[in-house]
Structure formats: structure tokens, C-alpha cells
Chain A
Amino acid sequence: AQSVTQPDIHITVSEGASLELRCNYSYGATPYLFWYVQSPGQGLQLLLKYFSGDTLVQGIKGFEAEFKRSQSSFNLRKPSVHWSDAAEYFCAVGAGITGGGNKLTFGTGTQLKVEL
């Protein structure tokens, strides 16, 4: 069965500082990986996704993530955090031939706080 671990429940960074959110997955085949962001009262918004190809993927809002098969990781990064980035971030893995078209398994999330 697939699983996702986000080891950091809460992270606080200063505005303008760099950010890295960790994600480790467990899946027997090539995973389909996603990062979503959820603001209070809002639905989940997709930041970026990895299906195949270049292991460094660019997303919206200046985010990027790197797929490292050897470490079973898909960490999210941003070089300079803005106060509006404060939210909860979820890593997810999709399975099957259709990858993200099949059910997603989410991590427990990382709550990001940005200090001004």
C-alpha cells in the first residue's frame, strides 16, 4: 500500500527566507507525486506535480520540488517566502497506470507560519 510521510507538522520561517518542506513516500512502482496547498476555508490547490521526466519540477507561486528516487523523497522548496504563503501544505502520491487519475494518498500536512 502506498503511504506518505511529512515529518514536520509545523514550520515557521521569516518572510524572505528560503523554505523546504519534506515529503517521503512509499510505493512499489514509479509514483505520481503532488504538492497541494490549503488555506483556511479554501479547497486544495495544486502547486505542482511529477509524473516522469525531469526530476526538478516547477510549480505555481515560485515553488519547485525535486524527485529523488534513491531517497523516496519529493521535497518542496521556495527560495524566498512571502507572508501570503502561510497555509497548510500536503504531499500526495497517486498510483496505478493513470497515476493521479486514481485515488490519492495524502500526508498529514505541514502547517507553515511566516513571520514578518
Chain B
Amino acid sequence: DTGVSQDPRHKITKRGQNVTFRCDPISEHNRLYWYRQTLGQGPEFLTYFQNEAQLEKSRLLSDRFSAERPKGSFSTLEIQRTEQGDSAMYLCASSLIGQGDYEQYFGPGTRLTVT
């Protein structure tokens, strides 16, 4: 078990550009979550998937944000027309629901800087 991985680890982009992040969960984990963490704050929930279905989206997830999990395995988070306020750490987590393990395992995060 290699844990949750995220790519890239760091991304610097100019305002107005689009960016895409990838998350690979622990294999066979059926739930996948995205959180955003800004400096001095705890992570804030953005959205989550059960298999390929996106079950909930936070109001933090504006129309410029879209997330997919096309085959119920890896997920992508895309931000269109980035703004400076999008600068944050984007964290992905996964869990296995249905076998009594509700623990969410987090990846190392993708740090986005919008200049």
C-alpha cells in the first residue's frame, strides 16, 4: 500500500491560467475527498466522490472549479481562470466505506501559488 499520492506537489501559475491537479487514492478505497488549506487555517472540505459519483460539493467550490473521478480510481481537480485567492494547499484524502474503517488517509498536498 503506497498511500495517497498527489501530483504535482507544487504549482506556480499566473492569474487567469487554468491548472489541473491529480490525486491517486489508496487502491480499492471507494471514497475520495478534496480539501483546501490556506495559511494559518485548517483544511476546508471542497467535495467528495463515492466511486465515480460526486456526492457533495461545498459552496467554496465556485463554478471555476471542477472535479472528476472518471473510473472511480484517480481524481482530477481543475481550476479555471485562476485568481490570487486560489493560492492554497489542495489536499486529497481517501477512505474505505463499508467495512468499518471510516478513517480518511491524506496525501501530501499540492501547493498552488497564483501570481
Contacts and interface: CB of A to CB of B under 8 A. Distances in A.
Interface of A: 4, 32, 36, 41-46, 49, 51, 90, 92, 94, 98-109
Interface residues of B, number: 25
A107 B56 CA distance: 21
Contacts of A100: 95, 102-104
Contacts of A32: 102
Contacts of B40: 108-109
Contact of A109 (B4, B41, B107): B41
B31 interface: yes
B65 interface: no
B32 to A, nearest CB: 11
B45 A44 contact: no
A66 B48 CA distance: 29
Contact of B97 (A41, A101, A103): A101
Given A101-B97, A106-B42, 19 more contacts: A36-B106, A41-B108, A43-B107, A43-B108, A44-B43, A46-B105, A92-B42, A98-B97, A98-B102, A100-B102, A100-B104, A101-B95, A102-B48, A103-B48, A103-B58, A104-B45, A106-B44, A108-B41, A108-B42
